[in-house]
């Protein structure tokens, strides 16, 4: 499902225009992105939790040359599925 498909599904369920649904989906995504950028978690009960984790610096290897590389530490977004979502998929 693409973002456009999601907006269409929201429009059908909410009986609103596709443009309004697309704006709503974009607003939700932007809100989640902004919260994660500030270091906050986003908990959607029954769906899951979006959070940010810190990856440690590590040593990697260039597959072509075999040369060792230093991979710097960085923050990465993480999604953990909630109980309701896990049960729906089973």
High-pLDDT (> 90) share of the chain, %: 97
Cβ-based neighbours of 86, under 8 Å, separated by 6 or more: none
Shared domain for 46 and 12, answered yes or no, is no
pLDDT of residue 90: 87
Q: At what angle do helices 18-37 and 3-14 cross, to 10 degrees?
A: 120
Shared domain for 87 and 45, answered yes or no, is yes
Structural domain of 74? 41-90
Shared domain for 52 and 29, answered yes or no, is no
Shared domain for 18 and 52, answered yes or no, is no
Shared domain for 50 and 88, answered yes or no, is yes
Shared domain for 47 and 85, answered yes or no, is yes
Shared domain for 53 and 83, answered yes or no, is yes
Q: pLDDT tens, 64-90?
A: 999 999 999 999 999 999 999 999 998
Q: For the chain, how many structural domains are there in total?
A: 2
């Amino acid at each position: 499902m693409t973002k456009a498909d999601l907006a269409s599904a929201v429009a059908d369920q909410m009986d609103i225009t596709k443009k309004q649904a697309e704006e709503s989906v974009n607003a939700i995504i932007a809100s989640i992105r902004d919260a994660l950028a500030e270091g906050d978690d986003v908990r959607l009960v029954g769906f899951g939790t979006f959070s940010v984790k810190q990856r440690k610096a590590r040593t990697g290897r260039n597959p072509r040359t075999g040369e060792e590389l230093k991979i710097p530490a960085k923050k990465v977004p993480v999604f953990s599925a909630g109980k309701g979502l896990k049960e729906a998929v089973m």
